[in-house]
Structure 1
Amino acid sequence: MTEKMLGVLGGMGPLASAQFMVRLTLLTPAERDQDHIPTVLWSDPRVPDRTAARLGTGEDPLPALLRGLRGLEAAGCGAIAIPCNTAHGWFAGMRAATRLPILHIVDAAAEDLHRQGVAPGPVGVMGTAATLAMGLYQEGLAGAGRDCLLPDAEVMARLVTPAIALVKANRVAEAYEPLAEAARSLVARGARAVVLGCTEIPLGITAGPALPFAVVDTIDALARAAIAWARG
């Protein structure tokens, strides 16, 4: 049992943050209700689109993100998890605005590569166009000695971006095949594993047969990081 309260800054998208809550619950070693982690989910789908903002075609989401942080602070949370990869492009601004530690999803993914014993070498990274353009994983995994292989522009336009949109439209099963094809293309180029670096992508990937290579589900990775924080 833990007395620590976790804050979840969610709604980006709503299904991804709901799945984070499911996985946090299922991954927590527990025998009874009281063994689980006290958690407050702030699910606000009104946060402006992160990809559009980062690519210069949409409204800045930082004010809405800070509003959520203030709400979680007021609720008595002791740390923040954000089950949206692209939102981590505003990590510095969020960190500067709160006294609470924020669990970084890229650090969680790096730890999950280690946990799975993925052999040294490059890893594939799938994500939104903004996440890849910001270099969140390229920079974050470089510290762990990992080079990143990214989908090319054709694969992003034909497979990854439309599949993310399908998940956001609640057409999850339809997203599986394009995402699986994109992941297979990265392994064919030499990736030792594929990081599902958008929290919509694991939802699509788990809607079909398991892939025959290692993947890092960033929803699960962040949930494991939250459990480690709560357990001290």
Structure 2
Amino acid sequence: MLGVLGGMGPLAGATFMQRLTLLTPGERDQDHIPTVLWSDPRVPDRTAARLSGGEDPLPALLRGIRGLEAAGCGAIAIPCNTAHGWFDGMQAATRLPILHIVEAAADDLLRLGVTAGPIGLMATKGTLAMRLYQERLEGRGYDVIVPPAEAMDRVIMPAIDAVKANRVTEAYAPLAEAAMALVSRGARAVVLGCTEIPLGISAGPTLPFPVADTIDALARASIAWAKPAG
């Protein structure tokens, strides 16, 4: 049974469940993955905790992990990128494997045929400040291009906030603008490194370049855990 530590935000967790179902090969109910969703929107804001001394989210994250352990789960997926800034603390507190969303995104780049070179990264300020993606992707041979601070303040963070406020369609234009700006700077693909960003991007026309959707990437990693090849 897969445990999903969600609620960060609630729509991202709910969309992860939908994408997990749609991406799972199956012909009947019994072919799908037994899953428990722990959706707790009370988890303190991760970016505020990292950048401005906000409340530590780790105790709330561990409360969710204990709930998923008690439910009998065998692994945990967390459809929130910034929460992975506390990955080591979470993994140290549980015997269950936690599927790392950044590793899943890196694997998805390979699936898309993007094996090296410059990669654009869109994420929250907290995720960028913690270098969750930069270090892991650079370790795999990618050069990571991030948006300038002006674009983060004017475009990306307001679009993420719009998705969290259920104004999803409003987020498409600014997020598409930011993604295209990264491609204009040489990115071969763009990693949507906040689980609100794919929701906004999916509200409009498909972008004309490869994107690594971290909701789908984590869903594929979860399927690979539950249904290993061979």
TM range (shorter): over 0.9
Q: How does 1:51-200 map to 2 (within 5 A)?
A: 51-200=47-196
Where 1:122 maps in the other structure, the secondary structure is strand
Q: How does 1:202-213 map to 2 (within 5 A)?
A: 202-213=198-209
Say which is worse superposed, 196-205 or 117-126, in terms of deviation: 117-126
Cα displacement (A) at 1:126: 0.2
Where 1:180 maps in the other structure, the secondary structure is helix
Cα displacement (A) at 1:120: 2.4
Specify the code of the residue in structure 2 equivalent to 1:207: A
In the superposition, the TM-score normalised over structure 2's length comes to 0.98
- Tell me what 1:29 maps to: 25
Specify the code of the residue in structure 1 equivalent to 2:70: A
Q: Distance in 2 between matches of 1:59 and 1:66?
A: 14
Cα displacement (A) at 1:119: 4.9
Q: Which runs of 5+ in 2 are unaligned?
A: none
Where 2:96 maps in the other structure, the secondary structure is coil
Q: Distance in 2 between matches of 1:201 and 1:40?
A: 24
Where 1:147 maps in the other structure, the secondary structure is strand
Say which is worse superposed, 76-85 or 139-148, in terms of deviation: 139-148
Where 2:117 maps in the other structure, the secondary structure is coil
Could you report, residue by residue, the CA deviation over 1:87-135 in whole angstroms, capped at 9, with x for unpaired residues? 0000000000000000000000000000110152110000000000100
Specify the code of the residue in structure 1 equivalent to 2:4: V
Where 2:110 maps in the other structure, the secondary structure is helix
In the superposition, the TM-score normalised over structure 1's length comes to 0.97
Say which is worse superposed, 196-205 or 115-124, in terms of deviation: 115-124
Specify the code of the residue in structure 1 equivalent to 2:172: Y
Specify the code of the residue in structure 2 equivalent to 1:28: T
Q: Distance in 1 between matches of 2:53 and 2:134?
A: 23
Matched, 1:16 2:50: no
- Tell me what 1:215 maps to: 211
Structure 1 runs, 4 residues or longer, greater than 2 Å off = none
Could you report, residue by residue, the CA deviation over 1:18-65 in whole angstroms, capped at 9, with x for unpaired residues? 000000000000000000000000000000000000113310000000
Q: Which runs of 5+ in 1 are unaligned?
A: none
Q: CA RMSD in A?
A: 0.6
Specify the code of the residue in structure 2 equivalent to 1:76: G
Could you report, residue by residue, the CA deviation over 1:69-100 in whole angstroms, capped at 9, with x for unpaired residues? 00000000000000000000000000000000
Q: How many residue pairs are counted as aligned between the two chains?
A: 228
Q: Distance in 2 between matches of 1:111 and 1:216?
A: 9
- Tell me what 1:41 maps to: 37
Where 1:8 maps in the other structure, the secondary structure is strand
